[in-house]
Amino acid sequence: MDHSHHKEISHMAHNTTVPSHHHHPTTSASHSHSHGGGMGDMMMHMTFYFGFKNVELLFSGLVINTAGEMAGAFVAVFLLAMFYEGLKIARESLLRKSQVSIRYNSMPVPGPNGTILMETHKTVGQQMLSFPHLLQTVLHIIQVVISYFLMLIFMTYNGYLCIAVAAGAGTGYFLFSWKKAVVVDITEHCH
Amino acid sequence: SKMHFIFSNEVVLLFDFWSVHSPAGMALSVVVVLLLAVLYESIKVGKAKLLYQAAVSLSIPTSQLTEETDQDSSGSDSPPVSRTRLRWFFCHFGQSLIHVVQVVIGYFMMLAVMSYNTWIFFGVILGSAVGYYLAYPLLSMV
């Protein structure tokens, strides 16, 4: 009997790119007495806009001021979103491969009429300290960080950058799940 | 000053033109956001079902694709094979478009919640619940 097993539920229930909500630092609160969104809020956009002047992106030194810089940022965000989709699919296939080993564990249980029955437990999973599980954990952290970055980028409300996120996600999904789609496991629902 | 959830009949959601001032406008906005959340959950289920159906339909032996093969093709079956590939390509491309819609709606819902308007938040949560409740049983149906 091996108790060092870590049972993992092998169904990907998390959704795509929207992580759980977070509290964003704000400049001014909009109370019920203010007129709509744009008035009391000078620094952060609260509606979609198209522009490339003075666009702050994630980090304090990263400010876009020209069309060329916006084009570069578009490409970078596009690639980041594509990489995110690829990472998701890579993790799924890695998980599936490392769960090929199935352990059967039989234990006696009392049955009716005083008989002893053998109950067999099937465990599909990974050991805690195994390399696949550690790798999955590292990849998970990277995936979470990138998903938050994409969320923060979308939160700039800049139309160009939002389109870059959406297009990158679509392209990444198209390219990377091409092969994956051939192996369809219908018990896995929802991404 | 900190942001926190407030009950208010005034909000601007996502676009400049979506500006709400009245209880009626707020009610309508909550309904729209609710339907958006229902759509999001439905798309998730729809994508999985489309994938399953595509895989099932394309694993049928090519001789049974009766609407595409000619009856008099005795030996060669290369046209159905390439047509299968093309169908698979279009199917996968369609799936990718659906994925883009799913991603965008997911972000829209996140931004709507970020307005910190409690009515809108309730709409998103209720819509997710209703959408999940209605759509997920369809997954196990063939």
Judged against a pLDDT cut of 50, whether residue A179 lies above it is answered with yes
List of chain B residues whose C-beta atoms are within 8 Å of the C-beta of residue A36: 10-12, 19-21
pLDDT at A161: 96
- Sequence-distant (6+) residues with CB within 8 A of A67 are A52
State how far the Cα of B63 lies from the Cα of A161, in Å rounded to an integer: 48
Query: For A61-115, how does the pLDDT look when each residue is reduced to its tens digit (9 = 90+)?
Result: 899 999 999 999 999 999 999 999 999 999 988 888 877 666 677 788 888 888 8
**What is the number of alpha carbons within 13 Å of residue A27 lying toward its C-beta?**
10
Residue of chain B nearest A155, judged by CA positions: B111
| Residue numbers in A near B99 (CB within 8 A) | 16, 169-170, 173-174
Measured between CA atoms, the residue of chain B closest to residue A81 is B103
Looking at residue B56, its pLDDT comes to 78
What is the structure's pLDDT at A97? 82
CB contacts of A173 in chain B (<8 Å) are: 95-96, 99-100
B96/A170 touch (CB, cutoff 8 Å), yes or no: yes
Query: What is the DSSP code string of B63-93?
Result: GG-TTTS-TT--S--HHHHHHHHHHHHHHHH
Search chain A and give the residue with CA nearest B15.
A47
β B11-12/A116-127 pair status:
unpaired
pTM of the model: 0.71
Q: How far apart are CA A51 and CA A65, in angstroms?
A: 9
Listed by number, the residues of chain A in 44-73 with a beta carbon closer than 8 Å to a beta carbon of chain B are: 46-48
Rounded to the nearest 10 degrees, the angle between the axes of helix A131-154 and helix A159-180 is 150
Distance of CA A95 to the CA centre of its chain: 15
- With bands split at pLDDT 50, 70 and 90, how would you rate the model's confidence at A182? low
Is residue A142 scored above 80 in pLDDT? Answer: yes
Is-contact B136 B81, C-beta < 8 A? no
- Window 28-47 of B: residues touching A by CB (8 A cutoff) are 44-45, 47
In order along its 142 residues, chain B shows pLDDT tens digits of: 578 899 999 999 999 999 999 999 999 999 999 999 999 999 999 998 888 887 777 764 444 434 444 445 455 544 566 777 788 888 889 999 999 999 999 999 999 999 999 999 999 999 999 999 999 888 887 6
Q: Among A21-25, A68-72, A106-110, A187-191, which range has the highest average pLDDT?
A: A68-72
Instruction: Decide if pLDDT at A2 tops 60.
Output: no
Is A181 in the B-facing interface, judged by CB distances under 8 Å? yes
**Mean pLDDT, rounded, of chain A:** 76
- Dump pLDDT digits (tens) for A37-56: 444 455 788 999 999 999 99
What distance in Å separates residue A56's CA from the closest CA in chain B? 18
Please enumerate in sequence order all residues whose Cβ is within 8 A of that of A70, keeping only pairs 6 or more positions apart, or say none: A52, A55, A64, A160
Interface of B with A in 108-137 (CB under 8 A): 109-111, 113-116, 136
Q: Which residue has the higher pLDDT, A71 or A2?
A: A71
Which chain A residues are closer than 8 Å to B7 by Cβ?
Answer: 32
Is A137 a residue whose pLDDT tops 80?
yes
The band of A172, judged by pLDDT with boundaries at 50, 70 and 90, is: very high
The reported pLDDT for the residue numbered B50 is 85
pLDDT of residue B141: 78
What whole-number percentage of chain A has pLDDT above 70? 67
Residue in B closest to A48 by C-alpha: B15
pLDDT at B133: 92
The residue among A132, A145, A142, A158 whose CA lies nearest residue A69 is A158
Residue A98: its pLDDT value, please? 79
Q: How far is B34 from chain A (nearest CA, A)?
A: 17
ipTM for the whole complex: 0.75
Q: Which of B48, B122, B38, B13 is nearest to A188 (CA)?
A: B48
- Average of pLDDT values for A157-182? 88
Residues found in chain B: 142
